[in-house]
Structure 1
Amino acid sequence: MALPKKKTIALIAHDGKKAEMISFVKDNIEFFKKFELVATSTTGKLVAQTGLKVKRYLSGPVGGDAQITALVATEKCHAVIFMRDPLGMHPHEPDIYSLLRICDVHDVPLATNLSSAQLIVKGLAKNLLKE
């Protein structure tokens, strides 16, 4: 009998939020070890430096957000933690909004700040205890 496949969490962080993301990942490293991790390029590189295995996609501005959106739309990503900089200008804003919309359409948990990321971790950890 095959073991069930791990659920996938996507990690994305704008440049001004990357340090916050890495601190969050380090604070919750045992939790993240229980999931397949995907990330946009630079965020993934930084997450990998914590010792976690992470599949890296393109950088956000060149299509990484769109690649992760496709994972959500095809039910291959089960939660997204996206540390956004709401005050910054981002050339790939349409891709960002598409990701937010597709998470809503497919009822996939989406955190866009530290508080909501902590809630996703707590909720998913609680669900893991039930399995």
Structure 2
Amino acid sequence: MDSKRCVALIAHDQKKDDMAEFAREHQDALSTFRIVATGTTGGRVQDACPKLDVIRLKSGPLGGDQQIGAMIATGDVDMLIFFVDPLTSMPHDVDVKALTRLATVYDIPMALNRATAERLIDFHINR
């Protein structure tokens, strides 16, 4: 695997614009990471930031959440930024809970909203 630290980017449908804007504002910092993302989120980030190298996995409901969970379990993901939409029910909510549980079990930094993601990126820039 690449020696760069890896960040996983995921966003629920109502938060994909927020994720694209976040990536645009922080593309210099994100360029220091290897980036993996669920399919649609990864596409939106690539459209917003064509210079970023984003590895797109499957869409979340089609297994992308589980792919990222497996990468967390094998130590291949160092940080998770997951913009969740708590006001919309998700048919794959079980996968989402499993993903956040894995991030907790494997003790990786995890942001579930933009404010926390900003702090994680700021920490990365200033260390």
Match in the other structure for 1:10:
8
2-side partners of 1:15 and 1:103: how far apart? 21
- Residue identity matched to 2:114: L
1-side partners of 2:118 and 2:28: how far apart? 14
Match in the other structure for 1:96:
96
- Residue identity matched to 1:66: Q
Deviations 1:71-102 (A, max 9, x none): 11110000010000011111111110011111
Match in the other structure for 1:84:
84
Can you give the 5+ residue segments of structure 2 that lack an aligned partner in the other structure? none
Alignment RMSD (CA, Å)? 1.0
1-side partners of 2:42 and 2:69: how far apart? 16
Identity value in percent = 40
- SS, match of residue 55 in structure 1: strand
CA radius of gyration, larger in = 1
Match in the other structure for 1:65:
65
TM-aligned CA deviation for residue 126 of structure 1: 2.4
Can you give the 5+ residue segments of structure 1 that lack an aligned partner in the other structure? none
Runs of 4+ that moved beyond 3 A: none
With the length of structure 2 as denominator, give the TM-score of the two structures.
0.94
